[in-house]
Amino acid sequence: MNRLAILIALIALIHNGTAQRRPARPDFSRFGETSSGCSSLQFRCKNGQCITSESLCDGLVDCRDGSDETRSECSGPNSLPCNPRTFRCDYGACVDGDALCNGIKNCADNSDEDPEKCRSSGGNNGYQNTTHEVSCRSNQFRCDNGQCIGNTELCDGNVDCTDRSDETVLSCGSFNCPQYVFRCAYGACIDNDLKCNGVVNCADGSDEDRNLCGGYEERTTKRTTRPNDDPYNTNQGRPTDDPYNTSQPRPTSRPTSRPTQRPTSKPPLVRESCDVPDQPENGQWMLEKSQCHSGSNCRVQPGVRTLDPGTQLVYKCNSGYKLNGTSAVFCGLNGKWSRIPKCQEIRCPPLSSASREAQCTYEDNWTSCDSPVLPRTIAQLSCRNSYRQDVTDLTRRDNIKCNAKGEWEPQPIKCVSVCGIASTSTGVPLIVNGTRASVSDFPWHGTLYKAKGNEKQFICGATIIKDNLLVTAAHCVSDEVHKKIERPSTFYVAVGNVFRDYDYEGHDPRTVKKTKVKDIFIICNYLGLEGNYASDIAILQIETAFVFSSIVMPICLDTTSASDQAVLEVGNHGRVPGFGRTAQGSSSFILQAITVPYVPLNTCKSSSIASDSEKYITIDKFCAGYTNGSSVCDGDSGGGLVFKTDNKWYLRGIVSVGIGATKVGAVRTCDSYAYSLYTRVSSHMEWIQDVILRLETNKPFPICS
């Protein structure tokens, strides 16, 4: 053996005699060859990551896939024995001999803290080693692994629990940091001067975030804990719930590089205790089990008046009551509890509504269904007049019971409005060869008014489509000059009326209902006269919903594809109500109606040439009417043209503009001897459905550019 070989052997022998963890390895070939991307002094993890050879089988997981701390690597035929002064983990790793039963997890499998080993050895360093037996003092925080740390070390940015449970969102998320300190992304509080100082002071590194610090990244950022050996690990120093994650800093059982002094010019971080809260009415709270000697939720000792920051309480209610908030309540750094829940009596919601009638009994005694009811209440349901049961959902029942959770089961029936049902009365000829309408002939018809001073002037017609929605023509609610919608609060709606004027004393209050317009929706590309009145449709949302009856009910909407092709054809007639101009030239004081035939497109276009009105026959319009003087006219705009299908009336068109309208100054006046144009409702059915859906689900509306 030459001198060089003897020297190498001596060095290896000396290293074996002094090593605290495991002997040096004479052969590093099993750690991966240089061609694998790892040097000869590195171990190649199964996922391709490279770690130092000394990190293999040292009790700490360095490979992100955990392959450096496995039985196959640490107890295999190529593994080396542990030094006599070290402890061998069950899977073969070697850790410091003093680590046995010290209350800290040093083996990846926690075998150094095995209860059987610790009971037989009597433990070390004064620790009892099972997490079930470890308890912490009132001024300490108990880590998830049973370790105890001071309360002042909780959520301070530094990892003190070896499992990192003192610096997680779960532990720190409810902390309220004072204004003069910085709050880490996961909730911990650190001095404000430590933000963007080039040193990682939050466990997750959020105090040195590039977006927060802007440009600091060119400086060398120092960490308060040892980073992972993988230079490509972008998650170094960030906490996770997985203690085996190698992106975490090393546990405190290893030497740390926590700074010895933190510069600050702000007042020191003060942690205030929380006053012990009163027990809730109809319930109780207890300390969360991790803060109890018994290992289960417990009561506070008699005489205790305050609890430290980080203390968690668990609330629960007595039988028959339920919490109206979260059961977990935390003491914040400012001495304030997070939101404390209340116990409220369990009841089922009321069933009676404008559409549904309910008869309820509780223990065979009648009780009102108009307010919340107790569990075990039985209800018999039915739909009110002008409503019918929705039979599309077969899981709903008309006989239901309130259960112990405050829920009706099965689910109660849904009652939907009956639509498009009108009387068959005949009227006296009146308008431009029209007829007077009865209040029940068009129960879906609404009258639109605009406030001018103290007066509400009649302007247009409208049609009820839901209890809080009507459809009308966009030109009725638009400012033609400024190209915008008029203020909704200036419009009013009346339904169930046969007389025109809003404040007419002759209105029957039993049938006439009035309300204010809350909001108005039009299609973004509506341009009025400039756009030839294309998309001349608007939806009105009212403040007070209607209660339906035989006098007030919605029109039917046909949502099927190509819904009106079979209806809008030659030979079919529709009806239009309104207060439009009569043959005498003035607006009718009494509601009128006219029956008009559908007019083919070619006939309509031929008729429009003489009056230069063909440009108004846009893709979403169709023609109807006569050329004999019977026509819708001024004031009928916005009203609905309805056609009957299967004994129900469906909305097919909205009165838009007359073909032969003459222009007097800036105002177009209708020609009763010409056809009229109607906005085809089916062309905008998807838009109508979208508006309804957004209103019912509180989704925002797109802003028109």
Are 537 and 618 members of one domain?
yes
Are 480 and 366 members of one domain?
no
Residue 541 lies in a domain: yes
Residue 566 lies in a domain: yes
- At 488 the pLDDT is 96
Residue 508 lies in a domain: yes
Are 573 and 502 members of one domain?
yes
* Per-residue pLDDT at 242 exceeds 60: no
Domain C-terminal end among 69, 91, 121: 121
Are 571 and 676 members of one domain?
yes
Are 361 and 439 members of one domain?
no
Are 47 and 104 members of one domain?
yes
* pTM, entire model: 0.54
Give me the domain span that covers residue 360: 356-417
Residue bearing tokens 């100054």: 665
**641 or 309: which leads in pLDDT:** 641
Residue 252 lies in a domain: no
- At 19 the pLDDT is 38
In degrees, to the nearest 5, what angle opens at C-alpha 452 toward C-alphas 448 and 457?
35
Assign residue 8 the CATH number of its domain: 4.10.400.10
φ, ψ (nearest 5 deg) of residue 599: -115, 130
* Per-residue pLDDT at 103 exceeds 80: no
Are 408 and 554 members of one domain?
no
Assign residue 286 the CATH number of its domain: 2.10.70.10
Domain count, the chain: 4
Strands (E), 468-589: 469-472, 478-479, 484-485, 491-495, 513-522, 538-542, 573-578
Residue bearing tokens 């429009």: 608
Tell me what the mean pLDDT of segment 147-164 comes to. 83
Are 376 and 325 members of one domain?
no
Assign residue 496 the CATH number of its domain: 2.40.10.10
Domain C-terminal end among 94, 121, 148: 121
Q: Which of 96-110, 301-315, 472-486 is least confident?
A: 96-110
Cβ(657)–Cβ(676) below 8 Å? yes
Cα(79)–Cα(172) distance, rounded to whole angstroms? 42
* Per-residue pLDDT at 289 exceeds 80: yes
Are 391 and 439 members of one domain?
no
Domain C-terminal end among 325, 345, 365: 345
Residue 91 lies in a domain: yes
Are 406 and 456 members of one domain?
no
- At 34 the pLDDT is 42
Residues 6+ apart with CB under 8 A from 447: 458, 461, 462, 493, 494, 495, 497, 500, 502, 579
Are 408 and 369 members of one domain?
yes
Residue 476 lies in a domain: yes
Tell me what the mean pLDDT of segment 607-634 comes to. 77
- At 36 the pLDDT is 53
Are 637 and 522 members of one domain?
yes
Residue 100 lies in a domain: yes
Predicted confidence band at 608 (pLDDT cuts at 50, 70, 90)?
confident
* Per-residue pLDDT at 400 exceeds 90: yes
pLDDT of 448-481, one tens digit each? 999 998 899 999 999 999 999 999 999 999 988 8
Residue 667 lies in a domain: yes
pLDDT of 173-183, one tens digit each? 777 777 668 88
Cβ(88)–Cβ(106) below 8 Å? no
Predicted confidence band at 29 (pLDDT cuts at 50, 70, 90)?
very low
CA–chain centroid gap for 466, Å, is: 26
